[in-house]
Structure 1
Amino acid sequence: MNQLTKFFWFCSGANFQILKRTPTESNKYIGIGATVFFTGVLAALAAGYALYTVFQEWLPAVFFGMLWGLMIFNLDRFIVSSMRKKENAWAEWKLAIPRLVLAVLLALVISKPLELKMFEREINRKLDEKKTEFIAQSKANLAKGFPEIQELEAKIDTLKKEVSNSEAFRDQVQKEYDAERFGEKTSSTSGIVGLGTNAKKKEQQLDAAQVALDDLRKRNQIRIDTIEAQIREFIALRQAEFEKQQPGIEGFDGLAARMDALSALTSESSAMAMANMFIMLLFIAIETSPIFVKLISPRGPYDEFLELHEDKVKLFKGERWTVAKGESEARVDYFQGTHFYATELKKEKTNLKNRAETDREMAKWQ
């Protein structure tokens, strides 16, 4: 008998001495023990991954993952080993129902982290979308928190518009001057070709418009540069506030966030929902399979020997109880007999003493 067989027997919670006497039951309990063992291994992997998303470090994730796997292994081993094959099927089901409920809960707990790992790429994409939304929302909120930037930008637009209006006026004067020189007849030109009096007046107006435009450009550019410096200061403050919020947005990668992303993906995609359901059902089947194996398998020699052993223990307990009860009753009878005898003897001595004292008193009076 190799060590692996003994190990799986141990995992199944079976009694070694009884299994050695029933070799036909060996394979059944090897299968049950292997299922319990690998369920514990899957639980350790699932817990390790889930805890790694929490701690972001391998050492505590490995340690607590192994601890969780051992706990699940111990629970599964207890669930399987505590079941007994009965003559009555309904009696077996009454024992199995609470164990099945516990097994289903354990399967759900074990399967969820592994589902997160299997759909990791899709979840990461969903988390990136959520981070982008958070960044846009954060920037919008920060923009509302710095209305000075919009006010200063509006002032810059006003100053630029003044320069544009002045440029449009200069261009209009330029057109009139050109029309006057080339003899184009308009409402504001004479229609005579050459540099006459009207043309010189137009030229003077053009020079004045150009000087006014240059002065306005210089003056507004100085004001624009000052306002842009103020805007840069406010933008720096806004960027500092955004950088304070950036770690929280970048750290949106925890277990709860991934579960929320998985829930969103399953609600958006029927294929994802079906795959998620099948994975969950697979783990439920794995977790409950040892219990169902015991339920559907016929009552075998191992169960007979186990029941015989337990009945012998009950009989031995009854024998010891009868012996102890008899010894206790004998001690009580002895105690009551000796106690009552001593009490009566004491009473008799007291009465004789009282009677003697009474006789002496009577003799004195006589």
Structure 2
Amino acid sequence: MDSVSRFFWFCSGVHADTLRNFPTEHNKYVGIGATIFFTALFATLSGGYAMYFVFSGDNFAVFFAILFGLIWGLAIFNMDRYIVSSISKNASVNKQILQATPRILLAIMIGIVISRPLELKIFNKEIREKLKLSYLNGQRSKIDTLNSTFQNKYGTELSKLKDLSAERDSLQADITRSRYLLNQEIFGDKTNQTSGKVGYGTYAKQKEEVLSQKVARLEAVRAEISAMEGFVRERRDQDGLTSQRLFSNKQLDSLANVAGFADRNWALGQLSFKADGSRDLGTYLAVAFIGLLFILFECLPVFVKLMSDKGPYDIALGNTEEAAIHGSFKDRDFEVAVTDAVQDTRIDAETEKRKRMILREANSDFFEG
């Protein structure tokens, strides 16, 4: 437990030697350090999960995810540790709030960044369904666009093919009816379109000739239709319409598996809306509360430090810092005094040396005179 406590003290950024003298403060900073540690742990998982989708499909995707997750977690750990340790309880309340405001804003941004990839994992099933529906609608829209473009580009040929098909259907019906009338004429059935005479007579020959003309025309129309259909089929292949098909369930699953971070993030945003565009309040609140939970979790160490009373550790730490500052000033003053004394000694030595030189020169002049 001592090792665990020292580890969490390190996470909270305290001065362990000073804190060790105040047992009543131990649990508070163990809690703050644990919060910072688990925030960094969530950041590691979040960053690794996000990076896994960035390198999805790569052979080293797992390696890059672990590496980036560790780097991101350590960065968040370092920032959180600095944020908490830099708030001084020896300052006034207003100054503490002023110190904490930019740190709280930074903590909110960190919480938002951490929460998003974890939200993607929590709503993974719903996101996959939303992506599959989006891909299916996108493919359907693509096919409709290609068909519309093809219709405009080859409108004349398609219109002619339609007319030929209508003529073929009309000829087939007319030939069936003409054959029936020819049989009635041959067997002598009396109607308003037959003579009623049995045998292959003049009227029967006339009806057979008309029937032959219709059959010949039908063959010609079928040949034109076959040629036109071949032309249209070739153009469809060239324009890519033939190869376009709606995705199967297996294909949709594969596309959802390789979806990138941006697509999944978009799908998560779309979960808050219904098909008619109205907001789905239940899903919206679920996503929002999860994000707020991580933001609060990230801001919690700062709030705990602000709300906690000024304890003996804070007073002792303040005294230690003040003593260190005074000691630094004393050392500096001592160094300045020593430097000044040395400088004065040097000046006095130079002055004495000059006096001796002047006296020596004066004595020399006196004896020479």
TM range (shorter): 0.7 to 0.9
Question: Offset at 1:10?
Answer: 1.2
Q: Relative to 1, partners in 2 of residues 1:13 and 1:204: Cα closer, same or farther, differing over 3 Å?
A: same
Deviations 1:291-331 (A, max 9, x none): 11111111112112211211110121121011012122223
Aligned with residue 321 of structure 2, among 272, 295, 310: 310
**What's the counterpart of residue 228 of structure 1?**
229
Question: Offset at 1:213?
Answer: 3.2
Question: Offset at 1:38?
Answer: 0.6
TM-score, length basis structure 1: 0.82
Aligned with residue 262 of structure 1, among 268, 272, 295: 268
- Distance in 1 between residues matched to 2:357 and 2:159, nearest whole Å: 120
**What's the counterpart of residue 166 of structure 2?**
161
**What's the counterpart of residue 284 of structure 1?**
295
* More deviation, 21-30/173-182: 173-182
- Distance in 1 between residues matched to 2:184 and 2:359, nearest whole Å: 160
AA at the equivalent of 1:213? K
Question: Offset at 1:232?
Answer: 3.0
Question: Offset at 1:64?
Answer: 0.6
Which secondary structure does the structure 1 equivalent of 2:240 belong to?
A: helix
* Runs of 4+ displaced beyond 6 Å: 240-243, 340-353
**Do 1:46 and 1:111's aligned partners in 2 also have CA atoms closer than 8 Å?**
yes
**Do 2:179 and 2:211's aligned partners in 1 also have CA atoms closer than 8 Å?**
no
**What's the counterpart of residue 208 of structure 2?**
207
Which secondary structure does the structure 2 equivalent of 1:182 belong to?
A: coil
**Do 2:182 and 2:208's aligned partners in 1 also have CA atoms closer than 8 Å?**
no
- Distance in 1 between residues matched to 2:329 and 2:130, nearest whole Å: 67
Question: Offset at 1:280?
Answer: 1.5
Q: Could you list the runs of 5+ residues in structure 1 that have no partner in the other structure?
A: 356-366
AA at the equivalent of 2:166? K
- Distance in 1 between residues matched to 2:129 and 2:123, nearest whole Å: 10
Question: Offset at 1:26?
Answer: 1.0
Question: Offset at 1:13?
Answer: 1.2
Residues 92-131 of structure 1 aligned to structure 2 (within 5 Å): 92-131=96-135
Residues 339-354 of structure 1 aligned to structure 2 (within 5 Å): none
Q: Relative to 1, partners in 2 of residues 1:242 and 1:100: Cα closer, same or farther, differing over 3 Å?
A: farther
Q: Relative to 1, partners in 2 of residues 1:173 and 1:293: Cα closer, same or farther, differing over 3 Å?
A: same
- Distance in 2 between residues matched to 1:58 and 1:349, nearest whole Å: 90
Higher helix share: 1
* More deviation, 159-168/39-48: 159-168
Which secondary structure does the structure 2 equivalent of 1:195 belong to?
A: coil
TM-score, length basis structure 2: 0.81
**What's the counterpart of residue 41 of structure 1?**
41
Question: Offset at 1:343?
Answer: 7.3
Residues 7-18 of structure 1 aligned to structure 2 (within 5 Å): 7-18=7-18
**Do 2:168 and 2:222's aligned partners in 1 also have CA atoms closer than 8 Å?**
no
**What's the counterpart of residue 217 of structure 1?**
218
Q: Relative to 1, partners in 2 of residues 1:159 and 1:290: Cα closer, same or farther, differing over 3 Å?
A: same
Question: Offset at 1:284?
Answer: 1.5
Question: Offset at 1:108?
Answer: 0.8
- Cα RMSD between the aligned structures? 3.4
**What's the counterpart of residue 364 of structure 1?**
none
- Distance in 1 between residues matched to 2:182 and 2:218, nearest whole Å: 22
* More deviation, 164-173/61-70: 164-173
**What's the counterpart of residue 253 of structure 1?**
259
State the percentage of identical aligned residues. Answer: 31
Aligned with residue 343 of structure 2, among 320, 332, 336: 332
Q: Relative to 1, partners in 2 of residues 1:167 and 1:15: Cα closer, same or farther, differing over 3 Å?
A: same
- Distance in 1 between residues matched to 2:362 and 2:203, nearest whole Å: 159
- Distance in 2 between residues matched to 1:36 and 1:175, nearest whole Å: 94
Q: Relative to 1, partners in 2 of residues 1:27 and 1:174: Cα closer, same or farther, differing over 3 Å?
A: same
- Distance in 1 between residues matched to 2:119 and 2:67, nearest whole Å: 21
**Do 2:178 and 2:211's aligned partners in 1 also have CA atoms closer than 8 Å?**
no
- Distance in 2 between residues matched to 1:343 and 1:143, nearest whole Å: 109
**What's the counterpart of residue 183 of structure 1?**
190
Number of aligned positions between the proteins:
346
Say if 2:197 is the partner of 1:194.
yes
Aligned with residue 72 of structure 2, among 50, 68, 79: 68
**Do 2:161 and 2:228's aligned partners in 1 also have CA atoms closer than 8 Å?**
yes
**What's the counterpart of residue 293 of structure 1?**
304
- Distance in 1 between residues matched to 2:109 and 2:359, nearest whole Å: 76
Q: Relative to 1, partners in 2 of residues 1:174 and 1:344: Cα closer, same or farther, differing over 3 Å?
A: farther
**Do 2:119 and 2:290's aligned partners in 1 also have CA atoms closer than 8 Å?**
yes
- Distance in 2 between residues matched to 1:132 and 1:311, nearest whole Å: 68
Question: Offset at 1:175?
Answer: 6.0
**Do 2:12 and 2:33's aligned partners in 1 also have CA atoms closer than 8 Å?**
yes
Q: Relative to 1, partners in 2 of residues 1:55 and 1:16: Cα closer, same or farther, differing over 3 Å?
A: same
AA at the equivalent of 1:278? F
